[in-house]
Chain A
Amino acid sequence: MGFDLAFAASSLPTILGAIGTTLTVALVSCIGAAAIGFLFEMVRRAGGIAGLTVGFVIDFIRSTPVLAWLYFLYFVLPFYGVRLGSMTVGVMGLSLYYSGYLAEVFKAGIDAIPKGQPEAARALSLRRRDAVIYVIVPQMLRNIAAPLGNYFVSILKATPYLAVLAVPEMLGRAFDIASETYRYAEPLSVAAFIFLALALVISQGVKQLERWLLARG
């Protein structure tokens, strides 16, 4: 039978047609993960029982596979009468799973700010809220920009998991072609190639951003 390059090429447009879905899912999941992760880190930082609990939740998420979370949400939510589209469930799963990692990114980003910075803000009599908005958050954003970009790539590479929930992203499209033609090798290779290219291009972009931030001092 062999690997049919012409067939691979002919499947490219169909698979590439789902790139919008893939990128949208990745972007929305990344924003969701960042929002939950930031919230997690704020609660953890505040300490107390709530902080310890959230710390454990983060550890739990990081000790379990994303596939298990997707199954969990996909099958457990309907059991409680919550019926959501598979795309929504997929985005929720990726957001929840990566929030555990992004909480660590926020933690590192805040910890990397020298102790003298909030102290200088206090010495200048800035209110706590102003110190957070004008001194802490801008420096944190600078610290997390590159790791956040790298996690966006990770999330992008995790979007094909959603094919398991029948979300029509690029891997799902590749499988559609495969099941119609009984040829798996070509469409799957094409999907793999597109993801690799996307990941490499975005990673390069993140590296440039990192270099630019460093150069600004």
Chain B
Amino acid sequence: MSPFDIWLGILQGLGTTASVTAYGLVFAVPFALVFGVAQYLARGVARLLITGVIEFWRSSAVIILLFVFYYVLPVVGITLSALTVSAMVLGLNAGGYASQAVRAGLQALPSGQKEAGAALGLSRPAILLLIELPQALVAMSPTFVNTLIQLVKATALVSLVTLTDMTFRAKEIAQVEYNPVAIYTSLLLAFFVVCYPIALAGRWLEARIASPGSRAGGI
């Protein structure tokens, strides 16, 4: 196999990498929004419980969490596909990180925003939805982009639970072809061409948000 064939062989796993990422986002985005907002609004015991759930997903070692759910769920009678388990674990882990950005973004807004909304006679949900969340999400969008990159990179883990992503393909090729330099350089490059454009987009967003003129125009 030429290095180019190796590269093409690894890219055969791109579909799986992409589906785990997309499927992971299905878990990550709602979790981040719901738990981020809930942690911002809740008080007392409710807040403690919400924080507990977030911390479980965010502070656990994601590689172990993946194995735990992969092996524990069948034991307690829940059978999910490897893809679903992977998407759930990686997605909720990323969602845990993103929820902190949602909460921090909401907390960072000047209290005058909330007060101005109330002075206009808006209800609390309307203030949250129309005034607070849009501003917080725009302000934190570079952080969300970083979390997305972390999610894409974390999908390399699914090769350990038998999914044929790019990392798995690299290891398969390594079994028939002794050319570790080409194989693992190709693997790194494959992730780089996926993640680097996202990182550049994130930087562009950050610059746009940082320049005060653009904010008034809204994104």
Query: Do A and B touch (CB < 8 Å)?
Result: yes
**Could you list which residues of chain A lie within 8 angstroms of chain B, going by C-beta atoms?**
1-3, 59-60, 62-69, 71-72, 75-76, 78-79, 153, 156-161, 164, 171, 178, 184-185, 188-189, 191-192, 195-196, 199-200, 203
Interface of A (DSSP majority class): helix
Residues of chain B within 8 A of A59, CB atoms compared: 196, 199
B156–A68 touching, CB < 8 Å: yes
List 5 A-B pairs, Cβ < 8 Å: A64-B192, A65-B154, A68-B167, A72-B180, A72-B187
A193 to B199, CA, bound (A): 33
Residues of chain A within 8 A of B88, CB atoms compared: none
Residues of chain A within 8 A of B194, CB atoms compared: 63
A160–B199 touching, CB < 8 Å: no
Q: Number of B residues whose C-beta is below 8 Å from A?
A: 40
A65–B64 touching, CB < 8 Å: no
B72–A157 touching, CB < 8 Å: no
With A72-B187, A76-B181, A161-B63 given, is the CB distance from A3 to B75 under 8 Å? yes
**Could you list which residues of chain B lie within 8 angstroms of chain A, going by C-beta atoms?**
55-56, 59-65, 67-68, 71-72, 75-76, 149, 153-157, 159-160, 167, 170-171, 174, 180-181, 183-185, 187-188, 191-192, 194-196, 199
With A64-B195, A196-B59, A199-B59 given, is the CB distance from A69 to B64 under 8 Å? no
A76–B72 touching, CB < 8 Å: no
A202 to B93, CA, bound (A): 19
Partner of A75, one of B63, B155, B180, B192: B180
| Beyond known contacts A65-B155, A68-B184: 6 more, CB 8 A cutoff | A60-B192, A71-B167, A159-B61, A160-B61, A184-B72, A185-B75
Residues of chain A within 8 A of B56, CB atoms compared: 196
With A160-B63, A199-B61 given, is the CB distance from A67 to B167 under 8 Å? yes
A200–B61 touching, CB < 8 Å: no
B167–A195 touching, CB < 8 Å: no
Whose C-beta in chain B lies nearest to the C-beta of A97? B153
B156–A192 touching, CB < 8 Å: no
A195–B61 touching, CB < 8 Å: yes
A28 to B18, CA, bound (A): 34
Whose C-beta in chain A lies nearest to the C-beta of B194? A63
A2–B192 touching, CB < 8 Å: no
A191 to B71, CA, bound (A): 13
Residues of chain B within 8 A of A60, CB atoms compared: 188, 192, 196
Partner of A64, one of B160, B180, B183, B191: B191
